[in-house]
Amino acid sequence: MLIGMLLPMLVAAQTDQLWLANQPKESGWCNLYSDLSKKDLTEQVIEKELAQYFASVNRVKVASDKVANVRIFIDKDKTDHLGAEGFKIRRAYPIDIVAETPAGALYGVYAYLRMMRLGVEIPESLVERPAFQVRILNHWDNPDGSVERGYAGRSIWFADGKINFRSDIETYARANASVGINGTVIDNVNADPKVLSSEMLNDIKTVADRLRPYNIKVYLAVNFSSPAALGGLKTSDPLDKDVIDWWQKKVDEIYTLIPDFGGFLVKANSEGLPGPMDFGRTHADGANMLAKALKPHNGIVMWRAFVYNPQGGDRAKQAYYEFMPLDGKFDDNVIIQIKNGPVDFQPREPFSPLFGAMKNTQTMAELQITQEYLGYSDHLCYLGTMWKEFMDYPSFHDGKSVIETTLNQKLTAFSAVANTGTMKNWCGYVMAQSNWYAFGRLAWNPNLSARAIAKEWVMQTITKDEKAVNTICDIMMQSREAVTDYMTPLGLHHLMGWSDHWGPEPWTDIPGAREDWLPRYYHKADKIGLGFNRSSKNGGSNAVEQYQEPLRTMYDDPQLCPKELVLWFHHLPWDYYFNDGKTLWQSLNDHYNGGVEQVIKFQKTWQSLKGSVPESIFKEVESKLQVQLDEAQWWRDGCMLYFQTFSNMPLSFTPKYTLEQCKAKLRTKAYVDRQKD
């Protein structure tokens, strides 16, 4: 098939189009040949993508492959066993994109167009296969249209208890497919049973139909009590015959509507949500019951290991204690979804010790794109560096990195909590788009570097000016460390407001509240010092025992423990000396104030880019960086002035706020209004 298309001139970045805005360098034509005799919906997407890049026209003619300069071949005999989603690009004249399936060809076309947008030379031969089979976004969207931990407007999926049929959902689909994301859970893990109602499922079918051409499957988060809450049964016991029958019929109903439905995501027996343990059953009993209903349809169960029902003790140890005794007891279409750290998406955590420990159970990582604990959509915080730190860390299980422990399984998956909403630019901040992009690229290829991914995103979204690209990448690569420094340095965690997770609240005391919901439970500041004792000594919780050697010994000794994690594992005196010759108090001063100083540097550096980036983006980032600076100062002053009430030691900087002003800031009108957005 032939598509003649003239390239347009470079236009200003369109942040509503994410990283997909057309940016061809010069005029030219693309003649496309496809060897498919039966054009399916994905092949139509391939044609459309090439047409959009090469200036869309409305004529398509059948032509011989001999006159084409881009040829698409979908042929198992030519692919060297690329699999269902792999592709090969051969540089010659013409350019050949070869795959076993239309999905593989689609990913090949997106890779080709990415290289065109970046202006890099097409390799003589490029072969790619995705590292993970399931590369999935978890949306925490509710049927009423709200989004839990959403900072970019309302839900893109729901409004007023019904599916929201957005006209621009193809942009979302294109963005995901362009970086290899092939699944989406459209509803909150704190699931509403009504999502499984027949009325809702009929509407979800339309969503699935619109995403299918982009090789994206729909999944649903389900409430474990749905048989009782929605089906009217007296129980939701996973071993009850009527409950089993209800789930089987519901699953059959779903697949009648959506033949390629992906499966279920389940949060159970956590934060008050129902689960199998309510009936004296195990996580394996609950997961396997659902898995058996899904298996005839090739569906899967992603069962979350975030089990936050503390009965005293150390919350960081709970997932390991609940799931390790069940290792090997889950069905083969169940995969345990584990947050990257053992607590809750903190600016920095050690990796969850479950990775690699469950040798006979399939596991997957759950990351968080939305910046719940990292300044919402107001702080520049590129998460590629955080995720690479987590993924590449040695687990010391069979000599593998953390992420390698999840790759050699029958079922492999990689997930993240999305940051999308109804705001025009999808993410509430153009710089936050980079984290959506980075997740997709790492899910496809975990070996990519954080900087390489940042550079790709900047060049496709903001500018191709080499100096500006490198400058923006420098800011991005330093940004997460800056945020960690002015919020929770040295392994501190959960200092955020206990309900909203935004501003600093290390002082919070709520009468009647459970102690482990309050920040003071985690920082344990007193006249002696600061930090949570998770060592095996001096009455510590001994969470270190859940890690493999030599990590166990390293984390157990404050002199050996990495300084950036030391207060996660140890309660240290204010005058404790580190190996660098600084005391704990000096180090806290340096990190908290250093984070603020870094944001000031970001501002100055960004000003140097005026004229090198589109004006709309320049002004947006300029404005957001000012908000970030004010809040960084608030964090620094609130935490350090509060800790000073215990240490009675001098500060090394001049605070902008008093402690009382920091406390009052949470109650300002701006804060209240922000929570309504």
Cβ atoms of 308 and 322 closer than 8 Å: no
Cβ atoms of 382 and 438 closer than 8 Å: yes
Cα separations in angstroms, 13 against 55, 115, 380, 540 = 16, 18, 19, 53
DSSP 518-572: SHHHHH---SSEES---SSSTT---GGGGSPTTHHHHHH-TTTS-GGGHHHH--E
| Closest by Cα among 188, 273, 185, 281 to 225 | 273
Cβ atoms of 105 and 99 closer than 8 Å: yes
Q: Which two tokens stand for residue 85?
A: 């989603």
DSSP 179-217: TT--EEE-S-SS--GGGGSHHHHHHHHHHHHHHGGGT-E
Cα separations in angstroms, 489 against 536, 584, 640 = 23, 11, 11
Q: Which two tokens stand for residue 364?
A: 């997957």
Q: Which two tokens stand for residue 504?
A: 């600093």
Q: Which two tokens stand for residue 485?
A: 């420094």
Q: How far apart are CA 262 and CA 613, in angstroms?
A: 40
Q: How far apart are CA 78 and CA 69, in angstroms?
A: 19
Count CB neighbours of 301 within 10 A: 27
Cα separations in angstroms, 376 against 256, 381, 427, 644 = 39, 9, 10, 27
63 phi, psi to nearest 5 deg: -145, 160
Q: Name residues whose C-beta falls within 8 Å of residue 503's C-beta, 6 or more positions apart in sequence.
A: 496, 497, 631, 634, 635, 638, 665, 666, 671
Q: Which residue is catalytic, options 344, 389, 516, 545?
A: 344
344 annotated active-site: yes
Q: Which residue is catalytic, options 16, 144, 271, 332?
A: 271
372 annotated active-site: yes
Please list the alpha-helical segments (H only) found in 359-465: 384-392, 433-444, 450-461
Q: How far apart are CA 371 and CA 622, in angstroms?
A: 19
Q: Which residue is catalytic, options 100, 349, 372, 378?
A: 372
Q: Residue 394: which H helix or E strand, with range? A: strand 394-397
Q: Is 669 helix (H, G, I), strand (E, B) or coil?
A: helix
- Residue 350, amino acid: P
| Residues taking part in catalysis | 271, 344, 372
